[in-house]
Amino acid sequence: MLLHIPGLFTREEVQRIRQALEQADWADGKITAGYQSAKAKHNLQLPEAHPLAKEIGSAMIERLWSNPRFMSAALPFKVFPPLVNCYREGGSFGFHIDNAIRQPRGSHERVRTDLSSTLFFSDPDEYDGGELEIQDTYGLQQVKLAAGDMVLYPGTSLHKVNPVTRGARYAAFFWTQSMVREDSQRALLFEMDNAIQQLTVDVPDHPSLIQLTGTYHNLLRRWAEV
């Protein structure tokens, strides 16, 4: 399931973040790449301990935990602290699959990367190239969203970032360990949750809503790992 989550940050917030990122000291993006990924990765990244990366990451997690669309689709159990990167002219990241397990620096806790996410801090007209290409069950999907918007997709997906040929592409990325490991099960629960919410608006007193809601929670109980 590939999902667009709009407006996680306002235009004013994005502008302030961008100003800070443009003045930041960047490191080579290979610092957080695995052995195979490092050979394909050509970008810049804020170190995990960088105060700006921590500030942006904390704000993102706070927004995500109060975002109904993310909570319903991801069913999050753990979130790897968001990282921030930059692709300038010539920057790219070839096809790869993210490491299955990530461990935040300085932590003993491990996170299984069921879901990958990218939040854009640059608008599409500010740079050429830089599309996030994701290979999913419907073929190759190209993603280039407005600043402040986020895409959520399975961590098992083969994906890449096309070369940036003009401007700079600023973004944050992170991984989520879901309570429900299988993407197909999460997708079914997400669709059912959306249907329940819509029916609650359209026919709030219909007795079948109790049955449908009960079925949702029984499926979640069957599939969840907590």
Is 28 annotated among the ligand-binding residues? no
Q: Is 42 annotated as a binding residue?
A: no
Q: Find where tokens 């997708």 sit.
A: 187
Q: Is 206 marked as a binding-site residue? A: no
Higher pLDDT, 29 or 65: 65
> According to the model, what pLDDT value does residue 151 have?
98
Whether 106 has a pLDDT exceeding 90, the answer reads: no
**Do the beta carbons of residue 165 and residue 178 sit within 8 Å?**
no
Residue 204's CB is within 10 A of a number of other CB atoms, namely 8
pLDDT by residue (tens digit) across 115-130? 999 999 999 999 999 9
pLDDT tens digits along 7-60: 999 999 999 999 999 999 999 987 766 666 667 789 999 999 999 999 999 999
The b/e string for 4-36 (b: 16+ C-beta within 10 A; e otherwise) is: ebeebbeeeebeebbeebeebebeebeebbeee
Is 108 annotated to bind ligand?
no
